Amino acid sequence: MTAPERTPGGLPGIELVLSSRRALGAAPRGIEHWTVDAVTAEAGGEVGRLQVLAIDLVRCPDPWGALDASNEDVAHIGDTVFDMNTGQLAERFDQRLRRRGSRVLVLDYVELAPEWQARNVAALLVAESLDHLCGGCRVALGLPGPLERRPGLDDAEYAEAVRRMQAVWSQVGFVPFEENVWFLDPHAGTLEESLRALRHQHDLPAQV
């Protein structure tokens, strides 16, 4: 595997703006919707945006149902790693984790502004965002490749797009499970290692 491209001259100042939305009263307990906006510190220009769904396995009455009621990709993740009968993580998946923490983070959406897509910052933004949100986290989940291909892509182009996305997720420390669902156990130490390596690639302070 070739080393990720190092961004010449490092990065300009980038800030992460984290926000959470929650409907009063009607929203089920134990569900948080987080948006992370990455912007340049000086000009306020958009770098990218992430959306993360956080489910608390203790406080949410039906974690599987919460994912199933979301969009198709998130529902697919829920069907793959959760037991629909118990509403909790399936034992065959949970046994691969260190089983610490009760929050499950699902990366629902990751997008970079067009002018940033060639600067190799997607993995860095995902890792930095998870570092902020992983308190009490049992596992982070994602789908590095859409279930439906974009119109106009042939088989080879779609395979290459998925390969590139999987390479990004690998840099963060995610590993594949089943049905193209990837996971990261924040207690395995891989997120810290990945964040140090990614910061080094972009000439940022290494300590985490």
Residue with tokens 């106009």: 152
What pLDDT is stored for residue 203 in this prediction? 86
Residue 7 lies in a domain: no
Q: Which residues in the chain show pLDDT less than 50?
A: 1-9
Distance separating alpha carbons of residues 35 and 19, to the nearest angstrom: 5
Nearest of 105, 110, 109, 130 to residue 54 by alpha carbon:
105
Residue 2 lies in a domain: no
What pLDDT is stored for residue 131 in this prediction? 95
Domain count, the chain: 1
Residue 95 lies in a domain: yes
Residue 117 lies in a domain: yes
Q: What are phi and psi of 125, to 5 degrees?
A: -65, -40
Range of the domain at 133: 14-201
What pLDDT is stored for residue 151 in this prediction? 67
**Which helix (DSSP H) or strand (DSSP E) does residue 19 occupy?**
strand 14-21
The CATH number covering residue 93 comes to 3.40.630
Residue 4 lies in a domain: no
